[in-house]
Amino acid sequence: MDPVSDITQSLPMDDIADRLGVSRGEAESAVATALPTLLAGMGANAADAQGLASLEAAVGQHDDNLLDGGVTLSDVDTDDGDRIVDNVFGAQRQDVVQRLGGAGASSGLVAKLLPILAPIVLSYLAKRLTGRALPGGVGGSVGGGVGGTILLDVLGQVLGGRAGGAGSASQQQAQSQQPSQQSSGNAVEDLITNVLGGVLGGGRRA
């Protein structure tokens, strides 16, 4: 399963909708827009050695059990999430939020959602590094070459490799089986290409 689907299925969508004050459908649309962009932003930062080292360090500081049994929203530290988002997108944060507002969700909704998603994403990456509770999970260790390779592999699955690597065959197949999401997917992919590509790879700390 690709990272976006893997994380999304663990999200308490009704609780997120309540927190944001929107319908479940609006929350789902916002997640489908914001989550791949957040992952891709981390991938852009991991495109150089300094950025990858910073991401590994950030992942190592987050528990890998936040997604166990499904995310409990009260366990998510949104202050931490706000710092993560700020460090991932840097000076481009507001530009990213505004552009996401034209890709399937309002910019105000995206701005509130990103700090919720960010700690969940780092916990997911930590889980992938340790291989916990994943069918056929991979093993690795934060701070080592294997850990960095795993991070790049996971992030590279986002949107067919635009987060820093080649998309998996299963990801491409899943995309081909979801034509109803093609328009939204194209908008997010365009955002990643135009805003994240070549802009964020400056070794920011996640």
Q: What is the identity of the amino acid at 100?
A: L
Q: How far is CA 11 from CA 53, 69, 77, 168, 203, in A?
A: 28, 10, 15, 23, 29
Examine the pLDDT at 176 and tell me if it is beyond 70: no
Do residues 47 and 164 lie in contact, with contact meaning Cβ atoms separated by under 8 Å?
yes
* Average pLDDT taken over every residue of the chain: 75
Residue 190 clears pLDDT 80, i.e. is over it: no
Cα torsion 132, 137, 138, 139: sign: positive
Q: CB 186: neighbour CB atoms within 10 A?
A: 12
pTM of the model: 0.75
Query: How far is it, in rounded angstroms, from Cα 53 to Cα 55?
Result: 5
* CA dihedral of residues 184, 124, 23, 77 (deg, nearest 10): -130
Is the sign of the CA dihedral 81, 52, 158, 69 positive or negative? negative
Check if the beta carbon of residue 26 is closer than 8 Å to that of residue 142: no
| DSSP percent split of the chain into helix, strand, coil, nearest 5 | 65, 0, 35
Measured between its terminal Cα atoms, the distance across the chain in Å is 24
Asked if pLDDT for residue 3 goes beyond 70, the answer is: yes
d(CA 106, CA 112) in angstroms, rounded, equals 10
For residue 60, count CB atoms less than 10 angstroms from its CB and return exposed for 0-12, middle for 13-18, buried for 19 or more.
middle
Tens of pLDDT, residues 12-36: 999 999 999 999 999 999 998 899 8
Smallest CA-to-CA distance from 111 within 50, 20, 8, 173 is with 20
- Convert the pLDDT of each residue in 123-166 to its tens digit: 999 888 876 443 333 334 444 455 677 777 777 776 454 444 43
- What pLDDT was estimated at residue 56? 85
